[in-house]
Structure 1
Amino acid sequence: MLGLSLPTFLISIIFLLKQIGASELTFELPDNAKECFHEKLKVGSKFTLEYQVVTGGNYDVDLELKSPSEKILYKETKKQYDQIEKTVEEDGVYVFCFSNEFSTITHKVIYIDWKVDGDPEHEISGPGPKVAAGALTMIESNVARIHENLEQAIDYQTHHRLREATGRARAEDLRERVQIWSLGQFILIIIVAIGTVLLLRSFFTDRRTGSSMAWNR
């Protein structure tokens, strides 16, 4: 293939795939709790943070993002979904915290997707394989296009699974509410039926007592 060996082709693929560092996480945030994540970034790199509340309560959460100098870069309250894209302006540890402190009853399940582009710590250093410049460029462009299509497909699948999980959670919650309402209606019907029987029985008991008094006279 264009005069390139298989090891060279594989190294090119790995080199391209390592240009972007990404991690996905789904975690449970208890009620009246706060969870923070830390990431060390370099100046000039770009990061993308996407989050979504999958289940729990009204499907909302608070998020605050701070720079190493304690500058608030992002702060939103009671949101279900959002995507943040920033360029790093100072070296250091960036902190983003999810808070469910406003809820005292329900816990939340939150999905986060963290991507970093341009950070040297996420890139492969050192000399690459010695191949023809034109051939390597063609290989890189093809692999990059395939990589972008695969990432797009993975994103679609991830969001589809999230929507499915959210819909399933809402359906289960609705089913539980319907069951509780049906049980309440059943108990109410039983109470009304028993009350009706007792009321009718009291009517016949009064008549029987009146007839007995007439015969005694």
Structure 2
Amino acid sequence: MDHWSACFLFVSFLGTVFHTNGAELTFELPDSSKECFYQEIEKNVSATLEFQVVTGGQYDVDVTLEAPNKEIIYRQVKTQFDSHTFVASMSGVYKACFSNEFSTFSHKLVYMEFQVGDEPSLPGVGEHVTVMTQMESSAQEIHKNLNSIMEYQTHHRLREAQGRKRAEDLNERVLWWSLQETLAVLIISIGQVYILKNFFTDRKPSQNL
């Protein structure tokens, strides 16, 4: 495994994490291609689609969100990241599509989270008719804060991976530019030495005619 693959090992793991109320994954989006994902949502249920281009090209994709009746309820063109929250107007399967068809050579890695409904509460908490005890309230608050921390960590790692890839690309460009400059300096130096050598070389009489 090379350093580039290791850098995104954590995002590959996210691709296996699916929730009953949504999905969180990363996927590869080749050049001139389109990928669609489907999520069943009940009527009047709130949902959030969030995405971010981690690597590739200008870090942008085209995104559309389609309702079961084929109506486009959200569209973005050449966007790096965004988040869209909506309330389902009807029950059915909603389709989120990510397009890289405008690019003919840039391979991209995209992170997506499709959250449906509210975050589930702790098991056993709030299931009784009495008021929650102080311990239950504290446990519920801790659970909520831990979920927020997990979200912050995910976005921080995505930004870290994106920054690392950009730094590696910049380092590679600087390396190649330095090699080209070094080669150019060597060629010019050799040429100058050759020209100066001809100036100080004694010519034969036949050459002066």
Q: TM-score, normalised by structure 2?
A: 0.80
Report deviation, 1:143: 3.6
Show the counterpart of 2:81: 81
Show the counterpart of 2:151: 155
1:208 partner SS: coil
Show the counterpart of 2:40: 40
2:200 partner SS: helix
The answer (yes or no) to whether the contact 1:34–1:100 under 8 Å persists in 2 is yes
**Segment of structure 1 superposing worse, 38-47 or 139-148:** 139-148
Distance 2:114 2:172 in 1: 34
Report deviation, 1:209: 2.2
Superposed counterparts of 1:138-217, under 5 Å: 141-205=137-201, 207-210=202-205
Superposed counterparts of 1:13-24, under 5 Å: 21-24=21-24
After superposition, what is the alpha-carbon deviation per residue over 1:150-196, rounded to whole angstroms, capped at 9, x for unaligned?
11101111111011001101100000000110011011011101211
| Structure with the larger RCO, 1 or 2 (CA within 8 Å, 6+ apart) | 1
Aligned residue identity for 2:93: V
Q: Gaps spanning 5+ residues in structure 2: where? A: 1-18
Distance 1:35 1:196 in 2: 57
Aligned residue identity for 1:99: S
Query: Judging changes above 3 Å, is the alpha-carbon distance between structure 1 residues 137 and 23 closer, same or farther for their aligned structure 2 residues?
Result: farther
Query: Judging changes above 3 Å, is the alpha-carbon distance between structure 1 residues 68 and 139 closer, same or farther for their aligned structure 2 residues?
Result: farther
RMSD: 2.7
Distance 1:147 1:20 in 2: 18
Distance 1:78 1:132 in 2: 49
Distance 1:72 1:20 in 2: 25
Which protein is bigger by CA-based radius of gyration? 1
The answer (yes or no) to whether the contact 1:46–1:87 under 8 Å persists in 2 is yes
The answer (yes or no) to whether the contact 1:54–1:165 under 8 Å persists in 2 is yes
Report deviation, 1:92: 1.1
- Matching of residue 106 in structure 1 with residue 101 in structure 2: no
Distance 1:31 1:186 in 2: 34
Aligned residue identity for 2:164: R
Aligned residue identity for 2:196: L
Show the counterpart of 2:49: 49
Distance 1:133 1:183 in 2: 73
Distance 1:31 1:162 in 2: 21
Q: Gaps spanning 5+ residues in structure 1: where? A: 1-18
Show the counterpart of 1:70: 70
The answer (yes or no) to whether the contact 1:48–1:85 under 8 Å persists in 2 is yes
Distance 1:173 1:76 in 2: 27
After superposition, what is the alpha-carbon deviation per residue over 1:110-155, rounded to whole angstroms, capped at 9, x for unaligned?
1111111069xx99xxxx89x8632557665444322210111011
The answer (yes or no) to whether the contact 2:22–2:39 under 8 Å persists in 1 is no
Report deviation, 1:65: 0.6
2:44 partner SS: coil
Superposed counterparts of 1:110-125, under 5 Å: 110-117=110-117
Aligned residue identity for 1:199: I
2:38 partner SS: strand
Report deviation, 1:20: 7.1
2:43 partner SS: coil
Query: Judging changes above 3 Å, is the alpha-carbon distance between structure 1 residues 188 and 145 closer, same or farther for their aligned structure 2 residues?
Result: same
